Amino acid sequence: MSDVWHAVGDDALSKVNDAAKFLMEEFCPLGADPIWSGDYFRWKLGSANPAGSGFLSLAISGGRVVGTVSVTRKRLWLDGHEHAGGEVGDCFSSPSVRLHAIPADLSLRDPNPKSYVNRSIFGRLASETEMRATAAGVSLIYGTSNRNAYPGWTRRLGYQDRAEFRIRSFVHPTANYVASIHRSLSWFRAGFLAAESVLLGGLRQFRRLGGQTLSVERGTPSPGELGELWQRTRPTAGFSLVRDAAYWSHRYREHPLATYEFFLVRKRNRLCGVVVTRCFLGAGNRRHLSFLEWMNEEDVPFARVVVEILYAFRADDIDIVSLYAREQSAESGALRRSFFLPRSRIPIIFADTPLARGFKCSPEAIEFYIGSSDAV
């Protein structure tokens, strides 16, 4: 491997197969479902994306991809108006290269050889991808950051962690997971599962009381229904993605790697809510169920929807159920009443653009879900 790396813009997506190979070999957990592929990058960064083509930066060393950063175009809905946005993601660099290799040339943004964007593969790629995106008209770039990358984003690259975005992860460990914690507990697995099924069944019947006109079932909504539901539920203030029929189709139905299920909430046969879920294998061969995203009318009882979906997956050997919800919201209260545990805050970071600096939002007017990021 060379001791020099080159920063390369690949918005034409000519090297996405090489990028996917690098990411899968170095960062996909053993035994987990595939996360990246060439088709995945073409799906989200290509012209089929309703928001437009995106941006990809690569670090190349010795003819091999050793680092990646992307910005996927998103249509954002801010205070009742649509804006050209983007999500930064796929931010990885090879540990074996970033410790000793140097850039072949210096950044045009900052030619100081001691600056972060010239010492860090991640910093250089993130900086250059952001520059190309904003030059192309992307006015707001957001992302989610893990603990390791957070200082680089906020202290080195100037991204803002918006405190009003009080998004928290919630998890529900199932009986299947509890039985697997220790070998001695595996003897009681059948009893744990039976007790869980009875508990879910009882909770489901209780929450159905007085709501006989409401149904929650697997199904496929029509584009017309989704478009009408978005028109009825789109917020007049705050932050959201544009979630019309084109969004739901591209994000979930056309995804090249993952398979998603729609749950339709109907009241007297009229669509009043939709929830998207995904089952997948994660690290440690754990089977996950994620509530990726939902769009409901205000009077839809979220606690009822949650327990109906949990009951639908009761025989699927799920280990962990997860989702994001706003702190102190009706959804977070419903989750606690459904035996979900609050976990870490999810930092939503924004590039330092004029729109980001001027945009203000109350915590109650933020719609952000696991599915707001393309990572799951």
Looking at the chain, how many residues does it have? 376
Exposure on the CB side of residue 142, measured as CA atoms within 13 A:
25
Report the alpha-carbon distance of residue 261 to residue 276 in Å, rounded.
6
Q: No. of H helices and E strands in the chain?
A: 13, 16
Report the alpha-carbon distance of residue 251 to residue 373 in Å, rounded.
10
CA distances for 42 relative to 80, 89, 250, angstroms: 30, 14, 12
pLDDT in tens, the chain (376 residues): 568 999 999 999 999 999 999 999 999 988 889 999 999 999 999 999 999 999 999 999 999 999 999 999 999 999 999 999 999 999 999 998 887 888 999 998 888 888 999 889 999 999 999 999 999 999 999 999 888 889 999 999 999 998 788 999 999 998 787 777 766 776 667 777 777 777 888 888 888 876 778 999 999 999 999 999 999 999 999 999 999 999 999 999 999 999 999 999 999 889 999 999 999 988 888 899 999 999 999 999 999 999 999 999 988 889 999 999 999 899 999 999 999 999 999 999 999 999 999 888 887 788 999 999 988 8
DSSP 256-296: SS---EEEEEEETTEEEEEEEEEEEE-GGG-EEEEEEEEEE
Distance of CA 266 to the CA centre of its chain: 26
CA distances for 154 relative to 109, 117, 151, angstroms: 18, 13, 5
What end-to-end distance do the CA atoms of the chain give, in Å? 32
* Three-state DSSP class for residue 243: coil
**Domain spans of the chain?**
4-161, 167-345
Amino acid at the residue 21:
K
What six digits make up the tokens of 227? 């478009």
CA distances for 297 relative to 169, 234, 294, 338, angstroms: 22, 10, 10, 20
Which value, in Å, is the radius of gyration of the alpha carbons in the chain? 22
CATH code: domain 167-345 is 3.40.630.30
Amino acid at the residue 8:
V
Among 73, 88, 83, smallest CA distance to 129 is for 88
Tell whether domain 4-161 is in CATH 3.40.630.30. Answer: yes
pLDDT at 361: 81
Exposure on the CB side of residue 225, measured as CA atoms within 13 A:
16
What six digits make up the tokens of 97? 């290269």
Report the alpha-carbon distance of residue 165 to residue 45 in Å, rounded.
26
Dihedral sign, CA of 311, 316, 321, 325? negative
3-state secondary structure 210-230: CCCCEEEEECCCCHHHHHHHH
Q: Find the helix or strand (DSSP H, E) in which 246 lies.
A: helix 245-248
Among 66, 92, 55, 105, smallest CA distance to 351 is for 55
Beta bridge partners of 279: 289
Question: Which residue in the block uniquely carries the two structure tokens 């949990």?
Answer: 310
